[in-house]
Amino acid sequence: MPEAATHVASGKVREIYALDDERLLLVASDRISTFDVVLPTDIPDKGRVLTGLSGFWFARTRDLVPNHLLALHADGRSTECRRLEMLPIECVVRGYLSGSGWKDYVATGEVCGHRLPEGLSESERLPAPIFTPATKAQTGHDENIDRAAAVELVGEERYDEVERIALQLYAFVSDYARARGIILADTKLEFGLDEQGRLVLGDEAFTPDSSRFWPADEYRTGSTPPSFDKQFVRDYCESLGWDKTAPGPELPADVVDGTRARYVEAFERLTGLAFADYVARPEIVL
């Protein structure tokens, strides 16, 4: 990391540093969280996998929408990006009924004001992908909101623009992933504005931490399909009878190795690149 970089913010598993007035450095650690708790054991290379995937998608979607990426650093886990004025909403697209979308549907028959057909099962594919914005909670959980509430936060014109772009991005990446045996159930995108007020895709994009990836060959409705990346960790934590409050348990070597292998497999299947080649030369994803 450059000597002058000053720390700006910490996420559960990432850090942001300011390089200057216009540029930030996003650093993805190898930390992993499950059931909202960061575990004391790292997954080696997880931060590189996520950084490489984000870079891969930024490079392939730049004709749909400009993004904040300026450079990938040689460590494979740090990205230099343009500093944006971030919009105050999380831009979620759902192609399948899972997580809070499933909970809201069971309670109300709707998700973020989208009335859905009756009788859908958990994890079922939706008739068409839906844009389901959420507030950005500083602590705790993001809250799903409807169009009217999101328009209050960003304005009608900007809302219509992010909805259209987010749906286009989801369509592109979900088709790409599906052809490689991976279902993109849903994804959370963050957009910002540049100096000229143009919409720019920021943060991380289409990583396993910001999206639900399901192995297509294990997909079925009526329950939560296994997560592509975190299933070993979840199964191990469940087997302990841990109460899901901090501190989380340490992970044994076989769970670490199996989880690392799943992250690397997601990277290699989605990008078609050998992960070792990425580590040697991160810019190959661009």
Between 47 and 95, name the residue whose CB sits nearer to ligand Q0Z: 47
Closest approach of ligand Q0Z to the CB of residue 73, in Å: 14
Instruction: Name the β-bridge partners of 17.
Output: 7, 25
Closest approach of ligand Q0Z to the CB of residue 66, in Å: 12
Cα–Cα distance list, 212 to 85, 100, 175 (Å):
26, 12, 14
Of the candidates 24, 87, 120, 255, which one interacts with ligand Q0Z according to CB under 6 A?
24
Q: Name the segment binding ligand Q0Z (CB under 6 A); options: 12-20, 127-135, 165-173, 262-270.
A: 12-20
Please report how many Cα atoms fall inside a 13 Å half-sphere around the Cα of residue 27, on the Cβ side: 17
Q: Check residue 134 for interaction with ligand Q0Z (CB under 6 A).
A: no
Q: Check residue 83 for interaction with ligand Q0Z (CB under 6 A).
A: yes
Closest approach of ligand Q0Z to the CB of residue 200, in Å: 8
Closest approach of ligand Q0Z to the CB of residue 204, in Å: 8
Q: Check residue 81 for interaction with ligand Q0Z (CB under 6 A).
A: yes
Q: Check residue 286 for interaction with ligand Q0Z (CB under 6 A).
A: no
Residues 170-199 that bind ligand Q0Z (CB under 6 A): 192
Q: Check residue 55 for interaction with ligand Q0Z (CB under 6 A).
A: no
How many residues of this chain bind ligand Q0Z (CB under 6 A)? 17
Per the listing, tokens 């507030």 go with: 135
**Which positions ≥6 away from 197 have C-beta within 8 Å?**
none
Cα–Cα distance list, 66 to 51, 70, 219 (Å):
18, 11, 33
Q: Name the segment binding ligand Q0Z (CB under 6 A); options: 4-12, 96-104, 115-123, 179-187.
A: 4-12
Between 84 and 126, name the residue whose CB sits nearer to ligand Q0Z: 84
Q: Give burial (CB, 10 Å; 0-12/13-18/19+) of 19.
A: middle
Of the candidates 52, 55, 202, 208, which one interacts with ligand Q0Z according to CB under 6 A?
202
Cα–Cα distance list, 21 to 6, 24, 81, 144, 279 (Å):
11, 8, 11, 32, 29
What are the structure tokens assigned to 195, written together?
């100096």
What are the structure tokens assigned to 251, written together?
């992970």
Instruction: Name the β-bridge partners of 69.
Output: 81
Q: Give burial (CB, 10 Å; 0-12/13-18/19+) of 162.
A: buried
Of the candidates 18, 19, 38, 86, which one interacts with ligand Q0Z according to CB under 6 A?
86
Residues that bind ligand Q0Z (CB under 6 A): 9-11, 14-16, 24, 26, 68, 81-84, 86, 192, 202-203
